């Protein structure tokens, strides 16, 4: 049975989709309140990233005149975002689809997935760890306002 059929026959799975939407909204709000820019980088790129332990998805692009060239689905937006950082964009984040080939598929794992990537300029790893802790608390409080989280 396809996912859309499961949803049509039983509305309970919709809760998962609505929670995902709230989490993504919370992530955007969190970073926007800190003056991060949301960026959107290419998903289809001419050169794969250099990740020795990961396999890329390769495809072929063709023009209407029949010219062909290789292209790859991204495994992460890291390289494209780092180009924006080096161009001076400042603090930024992206929520995007990523793809990894040659991996097992299960209910909790898929070749296509959503990734959050963020970069804070003039910061160290402790600053980024603090970002994550604050982001996690913000998401939990956004979804469950009565949550008793001590920080």
Tell me: pLDDT of 14 over 70.
no
Q: Position of tokens 């991996």?
A: 103
The domain over range 26-143 is classified in CATH as 3.40.120.10: no
List the structure tokens of 33: 């309140």
User: What confidence tens digit (pLDDT) does each residue in 35-94 have?
Assistant: 999 999 999 999 988 888 888 999 999 999 999 999 999 999 999 999 999 999 999 999
């Amino acid at each position: 049975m396809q996912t859309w059929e499961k949803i049509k026959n039983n509305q309970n799975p919709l809760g998962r989709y609505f929670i995902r939407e709230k989490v993504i909204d919370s992530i955007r709000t969190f970073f926007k309140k800190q003056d991060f820019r949301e960026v959107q980088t290419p998903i289809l790129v001419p050169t794969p990233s250099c990740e020795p332990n990961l396999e890329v998805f390769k495809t072929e692009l063709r023009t209407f005149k029949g010219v062909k060239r290789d292209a790859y689905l991204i495994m992460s937006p890291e390289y494209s975002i780092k180009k924006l950082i080096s161009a001076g964009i400042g603090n930024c984040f992206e929520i995007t689809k990523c793809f990894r080939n040659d991996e097992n598929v299960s209910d909790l794992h898929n070749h296509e997935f959503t990734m959050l990537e963020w970069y804070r300029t003039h910061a160290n790893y402790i600053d980024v760890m603090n970002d994550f802790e604050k982001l996690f608390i913000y998401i939990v409080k956004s979804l469950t306002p009565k949550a008793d989280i001590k920080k």
